[in-house]
Structure 1
Amino acid sequence: MKTIGVIGGMSAESTAIYYRELNRLVRERLGGLHSAELLIRSVDFAPIAELQAADRWDETGAILADAARKLEAAGADVILLATNTMHLNAEAIRGAIGVPFLHIGDATAAALKAWGVRRPLLLATRFTMEKAFYKDRLAAAGLDPLVPDQADRDRLQAIIYDELCQGVVRPQSTAAGLEMVARGRSAGVDGVIFGCTEVGLLLSPDQIDVPVVDTTLVHCEAAVNFALA
């Protein structure tokens, strides 16, 4: 089994899901008392969030590249970045290491195509919904992602940072998320991306009448496939 290195902490809530899911998947595949070979470098999210807000992405990239180098030096055979938004710095991370880096957008695109989805609704942080780095990667895979309107993007950003990243899940926020999905369905979407690693805390696929790809879960599946190959 190869060792999976996880850059986490963005947020700690979703990194805990990565730890649980990676171990669950290995146990399901190998049985018995098996668990994943893991290394986790969990960063302090507060200064990174401040840099995000200030649009200082070169600095966040330097922090994450350093984390990736440390994981590789500690023995990681593959690197995961346990956040969608910070894949804006994917190239900085790739350039800092010699081991493979598994991009969350690639795992997401593959899962959507397996479901036959062509026009997914992307629910994520404002950065992921508005900047090109993520949508362009999906488009390159033949997908046509749609994002909510400005008011919904602002509302979802507040839910993610002020609630979900702090372990708070409010029923009214779940209702707001489902309303965003309903508006997307009216606009013709045929699938939904939980495109922030915390959105799976807010919404459940069984609440939605089209295929849902939870990026956290498919990213973990890709990592375990690599580790056990």
Structure 2
Amino acid sequence: MKTIGILGGLGPEATVDYYKEIIKSVNKRNNDGSLSYPEIVIYSVNMDRFIALLENEKYEVASNYLATCINKMAHAEVDFAAMSANTPHLLFDEIQRKVSIPLISIVDSCAQKTRALGLKRPGLIGTKFTMEGGFYPDAFRKFGLDIVIPQPDEREMINEKLFKELELGIFKEETKQLMLDIVQKMIDRDGIDSLILGCTEFPIMFTEESYLGIPFLNTTQIHVAQIVATCYRID
């Protein structure tokens, strides 16, 4: 097994969820009660520092910060790494160029899964950086898929709830219903046939595989599947 590096802290709740999902996936793979788990190094970054850099459009500094953190994991002899959040994938290519180990992309993993499921018109919710950044549409376009994002006022509400509630570990039923109301509008207005949970806190709130008659794509589980497969792969 390869040693896994997880860049966490973006935010903490999702980082914990990643660890749990990796262990759950390994248990299913072992299927024999084995306690043989992969070695994992988790580096938790300062989320406030990173988001402030994005807010001020200091993208070079932001990518340098995350690359430095990932290279620290490389010094701890991890074989590859994954960022346990969608937002930093805005800078994925820049970060990959600056680190000495391969990175597993949550966006590419999700695009491959969406195509495998035969879906054609997925909606996307996440932070404003994820919804407006263009890196999801760029990746999905390679697979002939169009991404649909919410309207500007809807994006503002989603972003606000993420940073004022979900990233702090606060999950309210009323917020969940507000999100579902937006998704229903996207179904009726935009004809989406699925929804990408483009923030790794969302799967903690939306625990079912589908809502409102469409699949909700859990980017954490999709990413973890690739991480575990890479961990066991013999090069």
* TM-score bucket of the superposed structures, by smaller chain: over 0.9
Cα shift at 1:106: 0.8
| Residue aligned with 1:79, SS | strand
* Identity value in percent: 30
* Residue 20 of structure 1: aligned partner: 20
Q: Give me the whole-angstrom Cα distance separating, in 2, the residues matched to 1:169 and 1:13.
A: 11
Cα shift at 1:210: 1.2
Q: Give me the whole-angstrom Cα distance separating, in 2, the residues matched to 1:53 and 1:193.
A: 23
Please, what is the CA RMSD of the aligned residues? 1.2
* Residue 152 of structure 1: aligned partner: 154
Give the partner amino acid of 1:8: G
What does residue range 109-120 of structure 1 map to in structure 2 within 5 Å? 109-120=111-122
User: Any stretches of 5+ residues in structure 1 without a counterpart?
Assistant: none
* Residue 174 of structure 1: aligned partner: 176
Give the partner amino acid of 1:7: L
* Residue 131 of structure 2: aligned partner: 129
1:169-194 deviation digits (Å, cap 9, x = unpaired): 11111001101110111121111100
Say whether residues 1:227 and 2:205 are aligned partners: no
Kept in 1: contact 2:64–2:98 (CA 8 A) = no
Give the partner amino acid of 1:124: G
| Residue aligned with 1:86, SS | helix
1:28-50 deviation digits (Å, cap 9, x = unpaired): 11242122321111111111121
Kept in 1: contact 2:136–2:147 (CA 8 A) = no
Say whether residues 1:40 and 2:26 are aligned partners: no
* Residue 213 of structure 2: aligned partner: 209
Cα shift at 1:75: 0.9
Aligned with 1:58 (options 57, 60, 67):
60
Cα shift at 1:138: 1.4
- Normalised TM-score (structure 1): 0.96
Change (3 A) 1:47 1:189: same
Q: Give me the whole-angstrom Cα distance separating, in 2, the residues matched to 1:54 and 1:201.
A: 29
Give the partner amino acid of 1:139: R
Cα shift at 1:99: 2.4
Size of the alignment, in residue pairs?
229
What does residue range 177-188 of structure 1 map to in structure 2 within 5 Å? 177-186=179-188, 187-188=190-191
| Residue aligned with 1:211, SS | strand
Aligned with 2:202 (options 199, 202, 207):
199
Kept in 2: contact 1:178–1:203 (CA 8 A) = no
| Residue aligned with 2:104, SS | coil
Q: Give me the whole-angstrom Cα distance separating, in 2, the residues matched to 1:166 and 1:24.
A: 24
Cα shift at 1:23: 1.2
Kept in 2: contact 1:123–1:196 (CA 8 A) = yes
Q: Give me the whole-angstrom Cα distance separating, in 1, the residues matched to 2:141 and 2:200.
A: 20
Kept in 2: contact 1:118–1:143 (CA 8 A) = yes
Q: Give me the whole-angstrom Cα distance separating, in 1, the residues matched to 2:93 and 2:123.
A: 25
Q: Give me the whole-angstrom Cα distance separating, in 2, the residues matched to 1:66 and 1:98.
A: 10
Deviates more, 1:10-19 or 1:30-39: 30-39
- Normalised TM-score (structure 2): 0.93
